[in-house]
Chains A and B, each alone.
Chain A
Amino acid sequence: DAGVTQSPTHLIKTRGQHVTLRCSPISGHKSVSWYQQVLGQGPQFIFQYYEKEERGRGNFPDRFSARQFPNYSSELNVNALLLGDSALYLCASSFPGQGSSYEQYFGPGTRLTVT
């Protein structure tokens, strides 16, 4: 079975631009979470979506938004990019029917560089 997939793998943007990152969960998984990981730090939680509804939001500004589609894939949008948004953005999915978070399956991430 295919794991969690993310696109694109790498992205370079300029300050002030916006970006859309995409994630496809493991087949049958209904929960998708997004994380930001800056160099040298652990991943930081941004959003969780379950059955197309937002179930949690981390401490990130309103420039960050996300949505989940009927096929359970998800998009993360970031507006008005700042240099500090440069990071690895990770998507994770978890089993159907489980809102619990203990075992999440992570994708390879999207490396975003803001110049």
Chain B
Amino acid sequence: LAKTTQPISMDSYEGQEVNITCSHNNIATNDYITWYQQFPSQGPRFIIQGYKTKVTNEVASLFIPADRKSSTLSLPRVSLSDTAVYYCLVLNYGGSQGNLIFGKGTKLSVKP
């Protein structure tokens, strides 16, 4: 399983764009990059998943360079409610492992 490295914490202000970068040097051909968000005292919530280039949904964008050894989660114009822990995961799509391997994540604090 590819190991991921991401910053422990980040601070931002309301209205700013936040970019959280994740390193996954040992990513395999069949691996996808997936991000989860977790608010205090709640279970994690799926945000976005991608394989290469750029993926965008109503919540975030995910940028993946050609070598796929890193990825960047971009949150546009954050608000106080975006304060949460963000986890980067590398998953083997279609695998039957049925489990998610979480690291410590990045604790994002959004200030007014």
Name A's B-contacting residues (CB within 8 A). 4, 31, 33, 35, 40-45, 48, 50, 55-56, 58, 88, 90-92, 94, 99-109, 111
Given A90-B43, A107-B43, are A50 and B34 also a contact pair (CB < 8 Å)?
A: no
Closest to B33 in A: A102
The answer to the question of B95 belonging to the interface, with a C-beta cut-off of 8 Å to chain A, is yes
Name the contact of A101 in the complex, choosing from B41, B42, B99, B105 (C-beta under 8 A).
B99
- Chain B residues within an 8 Å CB radius of A50: 96, 98
- Among A42, A100, A105, the one with the most B-chain Cβ atoms within 10 Å of its Cβ is A42
Name B's A-contacting residues (CB within 8 A). 32, 34, 41-46, 49, 85, 87, 91, 93-105
Are A100 and B96 within 8 A (Cβ)? yes
- Chain A residues within an 8 Å CB radius of B105: 42
Complex CA–CA separation, A58 to B50 (angstroms): 26
Give chain B nearest CB distance to A8 CB in angstroms. 14
Name the contact of A43 in the complex, choosing from B32, B91, B95, B100 (C-beta under 8 A).
B100
4 residue pairs, one from A and one from B, having the closest CB atoms: A106-B43, A42-B102, A99-B96, A48-B98
Give chain B nearest CB distance to A5 CB in angstroms. 11
